[in-house]
């Protein structure tokens, strides 16, 4: 069976005055219909650049992106314009991504206008109201402006806009990070409901492992542009194998004082992503680093069934 999205050895480097910044370095994954891949890592790890490169908002430096059986790597702008109907994005900050001078109705209708769909006044309003119902946004807000709404409602506008063209794949770039914790759960539930109803596939980007835990079928952990761990969502929390993932997980607040998990504090310098030195990029901060870690970059290998890790010492560290 072919995958909806297949990314093979994708690289995205940016030229800087000091050399090439390796924002995304050799990332490979697949995504099927109705599936969510959570992408987790600290800010600057390349997860947003990965999402934007997949969507054609950045040109890939190397590697391939296949969508629905077609190689779409660095296709023409016109082709990407067509693809955008099927591949959409939801941004982190709903306020910054909305035009303050456009009403809710006009904002949701804008993609329809760009693609010449539902252009008649009546048709357009019916479709906009359908989308507002779909995302749980009361129709009375159709003539409101973004500043009149709270963060949760503004993010619902962003989601309605993304759904307007009936896409199959959505890059969700930190979609709940700017929201209050109480609203985050509502938006995550909404996104899960919409996934079921609309048969959507998500690339769900976040710095927060506890957010992806509930929504992801698979989780990829990135560190300085590279994949360090990839597994089924539940498996990652049952057997956390990479030292960096262990540190991320240790930072999640515990639900109960009886759950004994010690916070791992990462010390040491971050490796520069500009012309990175050979060796594991996590080595300067890793408690398990050995001399070999500073010489050779570990490859991503299947350590347990469907559980991939890039670490020279993964077996010794985890007693496998
Ligand atoms: Fe740590 Fe070495 Fe594994 Fe890198 S390869 S995570 S430095 S033990």
Does residue 200 form part of some domain? yes
* Ligand 1 atom with the shortest distance to the CA of 317: 8
On whether residue 146 sits in a domain, the answer given is no
In a domain, 154, yes or no: no
* 282 CA → ligand 1 middle, Å: 6
Write down the pLDDT at residue 252. Answer: 76
pLDDT at position 161, please?
A: 95
* 110 falls within a domain: no
Query: For position 258, what pLDDT does the model report?
Result: 54
Domain containing residue 181: 5-86+167-318
Domain total in the chain: 1
Candidate of 245, 268, 282, 320 to mutate for ligand 1, largest count of ligand atoms within 8 Å of Cβ? 282
**pLDDT value for 259:** 58
Of ligand 1's listed atoms, the one at least distance from the Cα of 293 is: 2
Ligand 1 atom closest to residue 244's alpha carbon, by position in its atom list: 6
The answer to whether the CB of 197 falls within 8 A of the CB of 189 is no
The confidence score (pLDDT) of residue 2 equals: 84
Domain presence at residue 150: no
Testing ligand 1's pocket by substitution, the residue of 288, 292, 294, 310 carrying the most ligand atoms inside 8 A of its CB is 288
In the reported structure, the alpha carbon of residue 259 is separated from the centroid of ligand 1 by a whole-number distance in angstroms of 27
Contact 27, 10 (CB under 8 A): yes
Query: Is residue 114 included in any domain, yes or no?
Result: no
Instruction: Indicate the pTM of the whole model.
Output: 0.93
Query: pLDDT value at position 247?
Result: 94
Q: Whose CA is nearest to atom 3 of ligand 1?
A: 311
Pocket lining: 31 vs ligand 1, CB cutoff 6 Å: no
Given a cut of 70, the residues of the chain with pLDDT beneath it are: 1, 121, 253-261
CB 191 within 8 A of CB 202: yes
For the Cβ of 282 lying below 6 angstroms from any atom of ligand 1, the answer is yes
Question: Is the CB–ligand 1 distance for residue 60 below 6 Å?
Answer: no
Residue 32 exposed, middle or buried by CB count within 10 Å (0-12, 13-18, 19+): middle
Q: Are 27 and 281 in contact (CB under 8 A)?
A: no
Inside any domain, residue 21: yes
Backbone phi, then psi, for 172, in 5-degree steps? -105, 105
Which domain CATH number covers 26? 3.40.50.300
Residue 152 lies in a domain: no
């Amino acid at each position: 069976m072919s995958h909806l999205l297949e990314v093979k050895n994708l690289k995205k480097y940016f030229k800087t005055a000091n050399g090439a910044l390796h924002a995304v370095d050799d990332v490979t994954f697949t995504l099927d219909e109705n599936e969510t891949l959570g992408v987790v890592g600290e800010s600057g790890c390349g997860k947003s650049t990965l999402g934007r490169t997949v969507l054609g908002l950045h040109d890939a430096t190397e590697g391939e992106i296949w969508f629905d059986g077609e190689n779409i790597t660095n296709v023409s702008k016109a082709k990407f314009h067509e693809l955008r109907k099927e591949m959409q994005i939801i941004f982190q900050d709903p306020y910054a991504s909305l035009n303050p001078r456009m009403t809710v109705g006009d904002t949701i209708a804008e993609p329809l206008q760009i693609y010449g769909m539902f252009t008649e006044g009546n048709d357009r309003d019916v479709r906009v109201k359908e989308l507002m119902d779909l995302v749980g946004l009361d129709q009375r807000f159709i003539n409101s402006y973004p500043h009149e709404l709270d963060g949760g409602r503004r993010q619902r506008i962003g989601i309605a806009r993304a759904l307007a063209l009936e896409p199959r794949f959505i890059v969700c770039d930190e979609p709940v990070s700017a929201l209050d914790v109480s609203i985050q759960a509502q938006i995550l539930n909404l996104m899960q409901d919409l996934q079921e109803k609309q048969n959507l596939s998500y690339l769900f980007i976040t710095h927060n492992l506890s957010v992806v835990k509930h929504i992801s079928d698979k989780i990829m952990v990135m560190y300085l542009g590279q994949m360090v761990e990839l597994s089924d969502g539940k498996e990652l929390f049952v057997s956390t194998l990479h030292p960096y993932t262990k540190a991320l997980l240790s930072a999640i607040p515990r639900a109960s004082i009886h759950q004994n998990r010690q916070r791992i504090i990462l010390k040491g310098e971050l490796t520069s992503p500009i012309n990175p030195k050979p060796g594991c990029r996590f080595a300067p901060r890793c408690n398990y680093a050995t001399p070999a870690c500073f010489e050779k970059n570990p490859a991503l290998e299947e350590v347990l069934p469907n559980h991939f890790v890039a670490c020279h010492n993964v077996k010794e560290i985890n007693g496998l």
